[in-house]
Chain A
Amino acid sequence: MGDDLVAQVCAAAVAVVHVDGAAVSMMVSPTVRDALHATDRVSGELEEWQLAFGEGPCVDAFAGGGPVLVADLSSDGCSARWPAFTPAALGSGARAVFTLPLQVGAIRLGVLDLYRTRPGRLIPQELADALGFADTAALVLVDGAAGTDRATAGLGWQRDDPATHQAEVHQATGMVLAQLGTSAESAFARLRAHAYARDRQLCEVAHEVVDRRLRFEPDPPPDDHDQE
């Protein structure tokens, strides 16, 4: 499932974004979640509180489709917004929390939760890095769920920066979804696996799909390893 990759992303986020802890949870709905990794006790507790109370930054980030950046949990707005989560999080030792949704358009995978023991906002470079780690974690989860093997996935994100994805990659995802009768997540994973198995760039493969020069056929059983 690429859990060790998730752990690496969390560790890197802590070092680069200058936060005290990071955690990744997979989510299938705003309140159904599975904590995959937490770098420390506080991060683990923040995940637990949000799961227990069904409220918190990650619930809002997942539902709203954008980051939730809280520079100071002890400010007035927070206890009104999350009456149960806020005091619990403060009690655990967190003062600032930054939650980034792990998503690619309609594909919603989970969240990356970062926290600091002191209040303060992310400076622009830290936000840029945090967004980058969220994109990386999202791809790890997409490939992990599809069973794309670790070496391939690892190579994958070195040359596949979602920030530079052309519109065609997303259009192709929609087309493959319709061709295979599958979910957007599976369609995206199939596109990626196809590109990496042939040592090609994702945007080239996407272009062929949009140009209707490449079609994907459903293969039984669905979600099998893509070895075509």
Chain B
Amino acid sequence: MSERQLAETFVELADTLVDEFDVVDFLHQVTVRCAEVLGVSAAGVLLTDQRGGLRVVAASTERTRLLGLLQQQTGQGPCTECLHTGRPVAVADVAAAADRWPRFAAEACQFGIASVHALPMRLRTEIIGTLNLFGTEPGLLDEDTIWLAQALADVATIGLLQARSIRDRESIAEQLQTALNSRVVIEQAKGVIAERRRLDMDEAFALLRGAARSGNRRLSELARAVVDGTETI
């Protein structure tokens, strides 16, 4: 990754923040860029549901099994540990972590994931979620790449919380819950489109996102319109 490409990535993400933007779409874009820039095979963002769990809001690919693997960490897994300790968690060899997280390790290995990193999304003293990075080869990311990954996690945090001016803890709670519900709307819309157009879920997501882009619409607004039946894709 050249410095020029890196600079372009941050400029592109910052540019998204200037306009009225969609939080879930923005976080999706962050995860796609993470996979490219950090050289990992997949990336995902999980947010705290403020009830002790984590929920997936965005992933670099919408393949159902990846979403499932991300989501499975609620309760046990690198992201849950990261959420609770507030510190990055790095797993060089998932297979060797079967004692710590048996279900997660088994599922990850089945999916061809060999290494995992989880980085905290931190706002002052509060951890609001984690950025999850999956690699198909065992080993740890080097220090510079980790630093870059944390910078992207910080950008994700800024994007999430900028949607409304964050004055206090109440606003964070309001924003997190809104983002989590937007994600549910998108899943519902994926189902509608997948059924009508005979598509897989990731194809349905691509179609939805493409339609939002080309129509200059916010992703979750268009998703809601699809579910409400006021628009068809």
Contact = CB atoms under 8 A, between A and B. Distances in A.
Interface string B180-192: 0110110111111
B51 interface: yes
Given A174-B188, A174-B191, A106 B228 contact: yes
Contacts of A166: 68, 71
Contact of B170 (A64, A70, A178, A183): A70
Nearest to B167: A77
B49 interface: yes
B173 A69 contact: yes
A128 B178 CA distance: 15
A78 interface: no
Interface residues of A, number: 37
A23 B30 CA distance: 40
B12 interface: no
Nearest to B74: A164
B195 A106 contact: no
Interface in A139-187: 163-164, 166-168, 170-179, 183-184
Contact of A178 (B64, B195, B201): B195
Given A128-B51, A178-B195, A170 B177 contact: no
A193 B126 CA distance: 39
A103 interface: yes
A210 interface: yes
Interface of A: 64-71, 101, 103-106, 121, 124, 127-128, 131-132, 163-164, 166-168, 170-179, 183-184, 210
